[in-house]
Amino acid sequence: MARHTTSRVLGTAAIAASTALLATGCGSGFDDGGGGGGTGGADPSPTGELTLLIGSSGDAETQAVQDAVAAWSEESGVAANVQVANDLPQQLSQGFAAGSPPDLFYLSTDALAGYAANGSLAPYGDQLQNKDDFYPSLVENFTYEGEFYCAPKDFSTLALVINRAAWEEAGLAEDDVPATWDELADVAQQLTTGDRVGLAFGAEYQRVGVFMAQAGGGLIEDGAAIADSDANVEALQYVKDHLSDGSFAYATDIGAGWGGEAFGTGAAAMVIEGNWITGAMTNDYPDVDYMVAPLPAGPAGEGTLQFTNCWGMAADSPNQEAALELVEHLTSTDQQLAFSEAFGPMPSIQSAAADWQEANPELAPFLDGAESAQFPPNIEGAADIITDFNAQLEGLREGDPAAILESVQGNLEAALG
């Protein structure tokens, strides 16, 4: 994640996960991670094995990454071990605090500044042979104090995912796909039954934030905090109203860990999710027929959120040369297209765009959404601020939108100094 809320994607595209893995934190132990600024740290001698720590959206992503790394290992002769984190922010922070971070790891944009500022990361971006192929806005996401730190591994946007069977059962037709907030509320009510909610999404800014964007709000604009804007209050009030009437629900409130599970099990007829949901549906819920539509426009027009992670590299890694070669393999055109087929993300490199569009015409709303996408902020401390915001959003149904946003505003102003 990353950006000031006025940024827009250039060209046809700009990337989490999850998704929870996108809210990488900077909690206990964060400031203890040391590093040599990318020069190699505690042990300059290669260990002979690369370690990778990932946060996965599901079995499809896990298997795809493991297969890609195994194929590279077989060809290169360098052993590599992929570890799947249960709590990526915590485990990454603990690894740095203990002086034994993984060589490579998923790193979200909201965590970049903190780890870069304390010297934990190797700024290897300019060493990549394919550095000029990444979308410029994604490079910007992972640039700190003028240095391009790490390769964006892919990117994703959020769209509206609709269960076709539930849609038809409610007597809705193709031209009933909602284009406005009022229409979304109307069809969500029609789709709500005793054992199914009309629309579900995660109890987090990384989902609810789409309504803020559609209302004309966001978190930061032109370097200033705008969390307590009237637009954001209007957005959260809209969500609160429909959480209260039962036509909207948080995924956790209907027994699901995330929107994809709520959708796949039939607990929700529609969800707001990213294109990573395609891998989960193929792998876990292959019998569910669905369609993807653009998110409805709000008072200010269209809006969504865009996410990306990079392959972070530890400054103290003794295996940086091999790690760089592996990153170039994992972000190559062929490999990114294979990842897209396996679990749904859009490639972070421009050379893969045409092939992706041809292979995924039914997923066009995800790519089209990049034109109106906001990036969550990438300022130092953003991860903690968003974590706190998410905790408050969990109580939105009974809470005060203005009070919640005033709290976020204060945190952002403090972080911006």
Residue 364 pLDDT > 60: yes
- The per-residue pLDDT for 57 is 82
Residue 12 pLDDT > 60: no
Is the distance from CB of 191 to CB of 358 less than 8 angstroms? no
Residues 6+ apart with CB under 8 A from 302: 214, 294, 295, 369, 372
Q: When comparing pLDDT for 182 and 345, which is higher?
A: 182
Using pLDDT thresholds of 50, 70 and 90, give the confidence band for residue 47. Answer: low
Is the distance from CB of 276 to CB of 307 less than 8 angstroms? no
Task: Tell which CATH architecture fits domain 20-156+307-369.
Answer: 3-Layer(aba) Sandwich (3.40)
- The per-residue pLDDT for 45 is 54
Mean pLDDT of 333-337: 96
Q: How far apart are CA 350 and CA 333, in angstroms?
A: 9
Mean pLDDT of 328-356: 93
Tell me the whole-structure pTM to 2 decimals: 0.77
CATH class of 158-305+380-416: alpha beta
**Eight-class DSSP state of 54:** E
Residue 26 pLDDT > 70: no
DSSP string, 257-316: SSHHHHHHTTSEEEEEEETTHHHHHHHH-TT--EEEEPPPBBTTB--EEEEEEEEEEBTT
Give the model confidence (pLDDT) of 65-108 as tens digits. 999 999 999 999 999 999 999 999 999 999 999 999 999 999 99
By three-state DSSP, how is residue 75 classified?
Answer: helix
DSSP string, 339-354: HHHHH-PBPSBGGGHH
Q: When comparing pLDDT for 22 and 351, which is higher?
A: 351
CATH 3.40.190.10 domain locations along the chain: 20-156+307-369, 158-305+380-416
Residue 7 pLDDT > 60: no
Is the distance from CB of 1 to CB of 155 less than 8 angstroms? no
Residue 224 pLDDT > 50: yes
